[in-house]
Amino acid sequence: MVARILYSISRCLQSFGINCKIDQENPGVWTDTEVPRKLAAVGLSNKDGITKHGFAINVDLPLTGFTAIVPCGLTLPVTTMAIETGQKMDVEEVKLRMIPILKEILSLSPDSKIQDTDPKTDQ
């Protein structure tokens, strides 16, 4: 499930012209640059036998708060869609693009392999 969410996020970001990759070692979606910058994170929790999945995409926000923490325990930089595109980004527009992608990818049968069409993935 996490792989499908990451794949969906990367497809959405690419639809905005952002070159990105999925890093299996440091789960998330990163810029496809010499020094990768984190664009999105995915998380899950399991409580009382119920697993919940979620994700966060840095759309257009000030990054000043990230200077006070070590995001995901990594010293790599964090970025936003707005920074990567050089344009003001609207969360609602990102949602409108993300929803159909999620519906498509999450509705695939469990034995479907998304790697065959997966955007760049670090192994």
Q: Catalytic positions, please?
A: 72
Q: Which token pair is 97?
A: 């693009």
d(CA 87, CA 111): 38
Runs of H (alpha helix) within the chain: 2-15, 81-85, 91-106
How far is it, in rounded angstroms, from Cα 42 to Cα 56? Answer: 6
